[in-house]
């Protein structure tokens, strides 16, 4: 005996079709539209009362160990004096004040150009800019060479300058000798030696520039962009908050509509008794007696 269901047999009564889902959505369409819009407007209004955050950005050009400078920016040597200057240590410990500043300051090193980008945050544009200026002032002090480092750099600089001057004399004499040379072999030999002297001279010039830059440390001259005064806040993002609130409310209302429809259908069918038991348990959990 063939017991397979016929292709024309009616579907199971418990099966939920797409038409049932569409009908449920259509029945609650007004709620599903007005609810998310209202939630988005409320979130937009509430976000306007949240504290605003402004960012000031400064860009430094310092080719000598930029990673070291970036690390110093968030070190205690820089942050502790800044915290004391801003009065943060009056109501908190140094560690707590330093933690607050760490949340407001960041320094990034460009992977391609090596430029240092300092970003500071504040409750106003003026506060963000003032924080950036305070950090830069302490950073200039921290990077500047001190004590024996200064003595060693000055000695190295004096030696490089002396070598540069002596090598320049040798270059001038070599040039004069080549001009006076009569044979081609002598000229070729002179050219080779002359090229070597020029290479040494260029190397010495680079050493002198590096020593002079190290002695100067960081200063305003290294600023490609001083700390800007921001006029637009970066947080809170009111439009994003509004959209997310509307989407979350829409999803929650859609879920509520489907659950309510399922419970209503079950209450009039064979599962009515079990639905009543579930309701009783839920009411008991929240402390409501039937």
Whether residue 59 has pLDDT greater than 90: yes
Q: d(Cα 244, Cα 111) in Å, to the nearest integer?
A: 34
Which pTM does this prediction carry?
A: 0.59
Which long-range contacts does 203-207 make (Cβ < 8 Å, 24+ apart)? 204/160, 204/163, 204/164, 204/167, 205/164, 207/156, 207/160
Q: What's the confidence (pLDDT) of residue 14?
A: 47
Whether residue 36 has pLDDT greater than 70: yes
Tell me the pLDDT band of 181, cut-offs 50, 70 and 90: low
pLDDT tens track for 105-141: 999 988 788 889 999 999 999 999 999 999 999 998 8
Q: What's the confidence (pLDDT) of residue 57?
A: 94
Other Cβ atoms within 10 Å of 273 Cβ, number:
10
Helix %, strand %, coil % for the chain, to 5? 65, 10, 25
pLDDT tens track for 211-242: 777 777 777 888 889 999 988 887 777 788 88
Q: What's the confidence (pLDDT) of residue 178?
A: 67
Q: DSSP letter string over 191-220?
A: HHHHHHHHHHHHHHHHHHHHHHHHHH-S-G
- Beta strands per DSSP E along 27-81: 54-60
Q: d(Cα 196, Cα 192) in Å, to the nearest integer?
A: 6
Q: What's the confidence (pLDDT) of residue 119?
A: 93
Average pLDDT over residues 229-256: 87
Whether residue 273 has pLDDT greater than 80: no
Q: What's the confidence (pLDDT) of residue 9?
A: 47
Q: What's the confidence (pLDDT) of residue 259?
A: 85
Other Cβ atoms within 10 Å of 68 Cβ, number:
11
Q: What's the confidence (pLDDT) of residue 117?
A: 92
**Residue, of 122 and 283, whose pLDDT is higher:** 122
Whether residue 176 has pLDDT greater than 50: yes
Q: What's the confidence (pLDDT) of residue 134?
A: 92
DSSP state of 59: E
**Residue, of 195 and 126, whose pLDDT is higher:** 126
């Amino acid at each position: 005996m063939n017991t397979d269901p016929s292709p024309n047999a009616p579907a199971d009564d418990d099966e939920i079709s797409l038409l049932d889902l569409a009908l449920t959505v259509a029945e609650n369409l007004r709620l599903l539209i007005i609810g998310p819009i209202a939630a988005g407007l409320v979130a937009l209004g509430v976000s306007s009362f949240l504290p605003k955050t402004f960012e000031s950005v400064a860009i430094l050009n310092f080719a000598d160990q930029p990673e070291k400078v970036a690390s110093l920016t968030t070190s205690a040597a820089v942050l502790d004096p800044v915290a004391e200057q801003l009065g943060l240590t009056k109501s908190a410990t140094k560690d707590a004040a330093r933690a607050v500043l760490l949340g407001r300051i960041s320094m990034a090193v460009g992977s391609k150009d090596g430029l240092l980008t300092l970003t500071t945050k504040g409750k106003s544009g003026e506060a963000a800019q003032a924080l950036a200026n305070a950090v830069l002032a302490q950073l200039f002090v921290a990077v500047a060479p001190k004590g024996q480092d200064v003595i060693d750099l000055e000695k190295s600089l004096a030696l490089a300058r002396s070598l540069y001057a002596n090598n320049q004399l040798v270059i001038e004499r070599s040039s004069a000798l080549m001009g006076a040379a009569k044979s081609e072999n002598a000229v070729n030999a002179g050219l080779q030696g002359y090229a070597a002297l020029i290479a040494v001279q260029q190397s010495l010039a680079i050493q002198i520039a590096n020593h002079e830059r190290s002695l100067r440390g960081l200063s305003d001259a290294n600023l490609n962009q001083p700390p800007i005064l921001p006029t637009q806040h970066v947080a809170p993002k009111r439009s994003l908050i509004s959209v997310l609130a509307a989407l979350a409310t829409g999803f929650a209302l859609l879920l509520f509509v489907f659950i309510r429809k399922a419970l209503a259908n079950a209450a009039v069918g064979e599962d009515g008794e079990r639905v009543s038991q579930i309701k009783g348990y839920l009411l008991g959990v929240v402390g409501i007696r039937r």
